[in-house]
Each structure stands twice: as structure tokens, then as C-alpha cells.
Chain A
Amino acid sequence: MRGTTRTVAVAAVSAAALLAAGCGGGDSSPSSSGGSTAAGKTGGAITVHGCTPQNPFIPANTNETCGGDVLDAIVSKLVHYNPDTAAPEMDIAESITSTDNQTFTVKLNKGYMFTDGTEVKAKNFVDAWNWNRNGVNGTLNSYFFDVIEGAGDMDCGVFDKDQGTGENDPKAGDPDCKGKPPKATTLSGLKVVDDYTFTVKTTEKVSNLPVRLGYTAFAPLPDSFFADNGKAFGDAPVGAGPYKLEKYTKGTDMVLTKNADYKGKFAGKVDKITFKIYQDTDAAYTDVQADNLDLLAAVPASALAGEKYKTDLPDRNLVQAIGTFASISFPSSKADKSYDNPKLRQAISTAIDRKTIVDKILAGTRVPATGWVSPVVDGYKEGACGDFCTYDKAKAKALFDEAGGYTGKMTIGYNADGDHKAWTEAACNSIKDALGVECIATPYPDFATFRTKITAEEMKGMFRTGWQMDYPSIENFLAPLYGTGAGSNDSRYSNPAFDKLLTEAAAATDGAAANAKYQEAEALLANDMPVIPMWYGKAVAGWSTKVENVKVTPFGTFDLTSVTVK
């Protein structure tokens, strides 16, 4: 999940998915590339809207867009996501093969060089992944490696309450890496075969492993990284990507220059990219108008209202469907039992007039959801939610009465530091109007407070949730969110049939068969309605008069390799 402090921005950006599923198929969407027709000249310098990276530039510790956008230009990974369709394409990997979806053989292309002059070899991947998953290093993205065999042996032991001051010791239950280091320092599922080949064995069948490998955390690391556990690397990352980090002035900007030794297929055209840090997107937007900033991936809400950006930036804007999903989640039974009846949850979903809210409140910048999976990923199937996502007052009321009504007040919680007040209130009004039950949108001061409540299962009443895909797969919209015990399963939904379908899908050797299983699992969600789908995101991007050939990926970021200077 890319998000954190910028989740606010992300949620404000999102919007509709006109272009439908770009994935898998060969039809790239022409409307997603702006600028002129020709490939454009090479060279020149551009500036891109940036924000303060929350962590040092270590792939395994970068889980938000501020650092991620920069790092993605610096590192090459095994696979590269097509900027139009998000379909994975081989990059450093020559091939990734498997006969059983459990043991994968990765062959590397020769000749990829790190910017420190060493060649990218199989051991750079294996060492990197071992380091990333090692409990001692406590990385943010360690869970991406949980699927690899032996991951469990790399967790540190747990600090016993008897070791410290007893029950109330704040460290009780935390991993204790000093006292109880992990059993293993390497993942048993990773084996180097030769300099350009390694194998990955997963704990269970994972049909979409190759798709996942394009995520930043799977990037190779040079030998120099391990000398000081990434200390120097964090400030001056060394990758094998099309660009290298020339200079990072904290709080101000990050300057990237073209990597002259880059041998891959996805080279950039401009010579220099400067990520300028802004505190406020409105200021960045003004700079785009004044040609002081070239690329802005998220036009601010003030310019979205009344589609003002279309007159401010004529022919210099585009709308792109992106892999984000907004929803209203129900509290876990432990926190609040009053929503336990699925009929009631379906009634509430049917009572929300998504289309009117999107048009009137969100200026048409989202697409009302018809299911739980974003249209940008391979395997998307329209209408998984069925009638429950179509506004129907009478039907909602009938379902509501069938469910036995609701006593008390309903609430929808939201974090007040994002743009969520207007739409949560509108959703509440819609529910009130259709079901005749009191509903109040309840603000929490900020994202941290809000998430603390949810994670601790103390959140009573409904609350808003959002998701931004890590990698373009239907699985990423289902397993981490609704699987039993999954990391982002805020409603603590648990359905053995759903879990079983996920396992079967992961085992399927054929992509279409896997997708069919995932779709079957998604359909189950309509019966149980653990989370109400609200809408899919779209990004509205704008650029200055100085650049052309601008493209926005389904991740909502610019494709920095295609943009050119006029």
C-alpha cells in the first residue's frame, strides 16, 4: 500500500475509470497520452511535483509515493509495468517460469549495471530479498516477502512479559531482535543457480508472483549496500535504472540525471528530472500555470471544481483511470455488533446514491463502483456487486425492513485532514433519506488518530476506507483486504469459502482460470457485504507548455521515460 501522509492527496485525486480495463489486452488507451504525435526529441530538463520522502531511499522502506516516485526512476526491477495497461513486461528478467506456481525460475538479462559500476547478478536479488525480509532490519515492506518459503524463520522472537517489567511492559509482545534473533538469516526458498539464474520457492502456490515482482521492494541491491546496512544507500541510492539521484536537498528538491550506463529497454528521453517539493498542491498548480513546474499528477480539488483545469491548462491535461478504490467499511463484530446482519449491510449499500454524490460533490472525478476490484487490473469484471451498488430507495427500504431495521444512530467515521467531509455527509443523507434512520458523519482529527481507532478495533459505526494497489493484479484488491486475518482487513471479515477460492486461484496455472476463481471470490462479497464499494479513482494530471508526450500510468504517476521537452 502506497499511502501514508499522502493518502489525503491520493484520495482527493482519484476518479473515474472511463478507459476501462487496459490490462492484459493489447489495446492501449490513446487518450492516456497527451502532447503531440511524434516521439519527441531527447535531452532537456523537466521539473515534477514532489513531496517529502518519509524514509531514506531504501526500496524495502519506501511505501509511499513521495519516495516511491523517485526510487522507481532510479531502480530497475525484474519486470516493468506497461505505462498504458499496467501489464507486466520483462525488464531485468529475461524470463520467469514455473510449472507448478510454486517454484519459479528467474533468468536475468546480462549487462544491466548498477550506477556504481558493478553488474546486476542473481545474488543481488537474493541478498536484497533476504535483507528486506530479515526481522532484524525491520523493514516496512517485509510482508511482500512473506510468500517466499522460510519467511517465518526470519522473524525475531517475541519479547516475553516475564523478561521486562511484567504485564504492562510496553515492549511485551513486540519482536525482540536483540535478545531473540531470527532462526535464519536467509530465505530457504531463494537459491542462486548461477550468476544470471535464481529460483524462488513460495510457501504455497502463488499464480501472480511475476506480476508482484515489479514492485519497488523487489529491486536488486548492489553489494555496497550490505557493507553498512544501507546507511549510505539511504541518502545516495544506487540502482540499475534509467536515472540516478544526483542530489537530494532535504525539504527542497531531488535532482535526477540520466544514467549514461543504462542498458535496458525503458530508457528515458530527458536528461534531468527535478522533483520539487511542495507542501500544497494549490501552489504547485499555480506554478504549472506559470510554467515554473512542468508536471503535476494530481490537480488540486480547487481546480477540479467546475473542471476549471480544462480552461487553465487547455490541451495540457489528461484524465487517467488509476488503481484506487474507495469504500465504506463496517466495524468488526468485536467493536460493534449492530451491523452484523448482511441484509442490513446490503440495505445500506443500496441506499447510497453513488452517482449523484460523484457528480454533485466530487465534480465527476470518480467512477461509481460496481464491485470491489478496480477496472485497471487484469481480471476486472463489471457488476460484481450486482444490484446492491445501484441506488434503489424502495429496494433498500425493503431489505432494511427484512433485516429488522436498525436501532440507534448510524455513523460514518472519516479523517478530517482529508477531503472526506462532504461525501461522507452526502452518503449519510442518502442513507437517512432511503432508510429513515438517523445517520451522522463523524470526523476524527487526523489520519493517525483515525487509523489507531480502526486498527485497535475500537471504531464503532461505519468508517471510510481506501485502497491503492501495490501491483496490478485482481488478487491485490481481494486478498490483503478481505482474506481471513489479512493485513488490511479492517472489518475483520472472515469467510472460509472466500479464502478457499483465493487459494485455488493462486494455484491455477492458467491466468484466465485464476482470474475466474478470483471473480468467484469477489462475487461472494456481494452476499456478505463486509465493505460497501463506493467508487474507483481517476487521476487528473496537468503539465506546463514546455513538455509533451506526457503519460500517466494506472498507478497515478507520470511515466517519466516517455515525457519529452518541446
Chain B
Amino acid sequence: MGTYILRRLLLMVPVIIGATFLIYAMVFAMPGDPLAGRCGERPCPPAFAAKFREQHHLNDPLPVQYAKYMGQLAQGDLGETFQGVKVSEELSKRYPITIRLAVIAILVELVIGVFAGVLAGIRKGKFVDNLVLVSTLIVIAIPTFVIGVLARKIFGLDLGWFRPTVSPAAPWSELILPGIVLGAISLAYVARLTRTNLVENLRADYVRTAVAKGLGRPRTIGVHTLRNSLIPVVTFVGADFGGLLGGAIITERIFNIRGVGGYIFQSIHSRDGVAVVGAVTVLVIVFLIMNLIVDLLYGVLDPRISHD
């Protein structure tokens, strides 16, 4: 187990280096001069443009730019954005907020999703099953920005249960509504995944054996069947956590949350390569760690999957 984890951690290093280079190259390849939109409808003064390019290494060819960036990164310096703000400073402020948001979303999708999935699975073909299937279908069909804007209007503005937008400090309580919106679509997937797998496994031989030897229904389903049924769910949720961190752009905009998604979006928009690479590199690391955790969880859920 220990060596497995160590091997996986070591493997992350080339992946991170490769990923940063790919991202850097892609930002580099984007059309449009970062200076073009900066001075409105007129070109920037040449002296400003020259200074700006010099400062942000824009004159250098890609490999040189990348080498300079990696050199800084090795010293723990994520660089400065075009606005002159340290990337590390921005990220350290934004990641905690986004992580809080993602945790709420994950909790929502796990708790409600698995519960709904189990209910539907054990009452297959009955009313509850159909209710879950139809309601999740509706959630999947409606885009997040519609759900978000509606939720903001109904629960934030009309009923006044939540603040319609999140304050700068973004405490847990204010992130509940955005978290539910963010988790809504994944919730539907989790419910459906759980249901399908549960239904499948309930027909398995070992379940029949468990029932035959006189185990109660809660134990049969809760311990024996559900554990096995959760493996695809865990895979999904693990990957989803990373996705929620970087992909919460829409939810962040609607509720004015100062998170990472909006930051990456803005940075891409202003061709701010350093900011994009910094934020995405952290995301890559999160993805890698989540993957590792998911792989380790397999072993816990199904002892047949061993990492030794």
C-alpha cells in the first residue's frame, strides 16, 4: 500500500510538468494580442506596449517563456497577472471559497443522490422509482444557469431565505444555495448511477445468499449491495470534485462568488497565460489527488481490488 501511494505520487511529477506545458502552449497559441483589447478602441501607446511585453516576457519564444515560468515556479513563485497581482495571492484567496462551494455540492449530491438512488432502486418500477427518474431527467435537461437564476430569484429575492449573492467572506451558510445549484446536475447522475447499480446487484447471487441465510433487508441492502454499487458512484464523484472546482464558472457568476472558475475564465479572456497556468496547475494537482483517493477507496469498498 505504502509503495503504491509513493509510486503514484512520483508519477504525478511528470504529469504536472507535461500538463503545465500543454496549458502554457495552448494559451500561447490563442489568437489575439493581449494588448489589443487593453486600450479600448485604440492601440496602446508603443512605449506602454513595449514595457508590458518586456515585463511579461511576451517577446520570448514559447520554450524560453515556459522555461522562465518553470524557473519561477520551482522557487514557489506563481508569477504576476497582467493587473500586477500575485497569482499565488489570488489563488490562496479564491481556492478556499471554491473548495467550500464544491464540498457543499458534493455533500448535496452524495447524500440526496445516494438516498434517492437507493429508494428508487429498492422500489424498482414503483411510484418512487418513476418519480426519481422523471425528476432527475428534468434536472439534467435544464441548464445550470436557468436553475441558478431561478433559485436566486425565488429563494434569494422573493422568499428571502438566502442572500441572493454571496458576500466577499463567503461563509458556509451563504454557499448553501449556490452549492445546491452546483450539485443539482451531478445529483441527478449520482441518483441514476446508484439506482441502476443497485438494481443490477440486487439480482446477484451473493444477495440471494445473504437473504437465504436470513440477513435482514436493511443489512442486505445497506452493507452488502450498496457497498458494491457505490464503486461507479465514487469514480464519478471523485472526478466531479475536480470538475466542480474549475467548472463552477456559471454558478460563481450568478451568485457573485469570488472563486477559481471565474478567475480562470477572466484570465483566458485577457490572454493572461501566467494566471491561467497557475490556476489550472493547482486544478491538475487536485485531479491527481482525487484520482488517487478514488483508487484507494475502491480497495475499501471492494477488498478484492488490492493495491499491494
**Complex Cα–Cα for A174 and B48 (A):** 10
Whether A135 sits at the interface, judged by CB under 8 Å, is yes
Given the known inter-chain contacts A279-B262, A449-B31, please indicate yes or no for A175 contacting B47, CB distance below 8 A. Answer: yes
Contact B84 A445 (CB under 8 A): no
Which one, A3, A137, A251, A292, contacts B258 given CB within 8 A? Answer: A251
Contact A446 B41 (CB under 8 A): no
User: 1/0 contact trace for A402-445 toward B, CB 8 Å?
Assistant: 00000000000000010000000000000000000000000001
Contact A290 B262 (CB under 8 A): no
Q: How far is the CB of B249 from chain A (nearest CB, A)?
A: 9
Which one, B47, B60, B269, contacts A135 given CB within 8 A? Answer: B47
Q: How far is the CB of B111 from chain A (nearest CB, A)?
A: 28
Q: How far is the CB of B99 from chain A (nearest CB, A)?
A: 16
Whether B302 sits at the interface, judged by CB under 8 Å, is no
Residue of A nearest to B254 (CB): A283
> Residues of A contacting B51 with CB < 8 Å?
138, 177
Contact B39 A1 (CB under 8 A): yes
Whether A203 sits at the interface, judged by CB under 8 Å, is no
Whether A271 sits at the interface, judged by CB under 8 Å, is no
Whether B94 sits at the interface, judged by CB under 8 Å, is yes
Q: How far is the CB of A58 from chain B (nearest CB, A)?
A: 10
User: 1/0 contact trace for A442-460 toward B, CB 8 Å?
Assistant: 0001111111100100000
**Complex Cα–Cα for A487 and B45 (A):** 9
Q: Which of B109-165 contact A (CB under 8 A)?
A: 149, 152-153, 156-157, 160, 163-165
> Residues of A contacting B34 with CB < 8 Å?
448
Q: How far is the CB of B158 from chain A (nearest CB, A)?
A: 10
Majority secondary structure of chain B interface residues (helix, strand, loop or mixed): loop
Most buried by B among A140, A143, A445, A450: A140
> Residues of B contacting A280 with CB < 8 Å?
253-254, 256
Whether A466 sits at the interface, judged by CB under 8 Å, is yes
> Residues of A contacting B156 with CB < 8 Å?
286, 290
Binds B, one of A49-57, A237-245, A389-397: A49-57
Which one, B52, B53, B82, B164, contacts A286 given CB within 8 A? Answer: B164
Contact A155 B41 (CB under 8 A): no
User: 1/0 contact trace for A227-249 toward B, CB 8 Å?
Assistant: 00000001000000000000001
Which residues on B are within 8 Å of A, measured CB to CB?
31-34, 36-53, 59-60, 82-85, 89-90, 93-94, 149, 152-153, 156-157, 160, 163-165, 168, 252-256, 258, 262-263, 266, 269-271
Given A55-B84, A286-B152, A468-B40, 11 additional A-B pairs, CB 8 A: A2-B40, A54-B82, A155-B47, A280-B253, A282-B253, A283-B152, A286-B165, A290-B163, A292-B164, A445-B31, A480-B42
Task: Name the 10 nearest CB pairs between A and B, nearest first.
Answer: A3-B40, A138-B51, A448-B32, A449-B32, A1-B40, A448-B37, A451-B36, A138-B47, A488-B42, A283-B256
A-B contact pairs, 27 of them (CB 8 A): A3-B39, A4-B40, A7-B37, A52-B83, A135-B47, A138-B48, A139-B48, A140-B48, A142-B45, A143-B45, A171-B50, A174-B46, A174-B53, A252-B168, A278-B165, A280-B256, A290-B156, A417-B269, A448-B34, A448-B37, A449-B36, A450-B37, A455-B43, A466-B41, A467-B41, A468-B40, A480-B42
